[in-house]
Amino acid sequence: MNQQDFAETAAKYLRFAKQEARDRSPLYETLARCIANDRSILRLLLTLPREKRQPNLLLAAVRYLFGTPADWPQFWRLTVNEWEP
């Protein structure tokens, strides 16, 4: 786990927020931007193989397991507290 891995993963989430979620899903745009700036979630993502770090996979997994989170604090709590490697 190095700075480049953090930067690449954060950039992937920012790109998703700007290109995929903007004007389609305000919640997912917000969540993706917040994930890109949250080292605790980025650190968890870096435990996964590179191809499994995709924004749509994380967002879909959280939604599947817990329902649609109401906001960033709820998403963060669910993700960090329930993460299983």
**pLDDT computed for residue 40 by the predictor:** 96
Low-confidence ranges of the chain (pLDDT < 70): 85
- Which value, to the nearest 10 degrees, does the dihedral of the CA atoms of residues 57, 62, 63, 67 take? 180
Q: Which helix (H) or strand (E) holds 57?
A: helix 55-66
Domain count, the chain: 1
- Which value, to the nearest 10 degrees, does the dihedral of the CA atoms of residues 35, 36, 39, 44 take? 60
The structure tokens listed for 22 are 């903007």
The structure tokens listed for 55 are 């924004």
**pLDDT computed for residue 84 by the predictor:** 84
Query: Range of 20's domain?
Result: 3-82
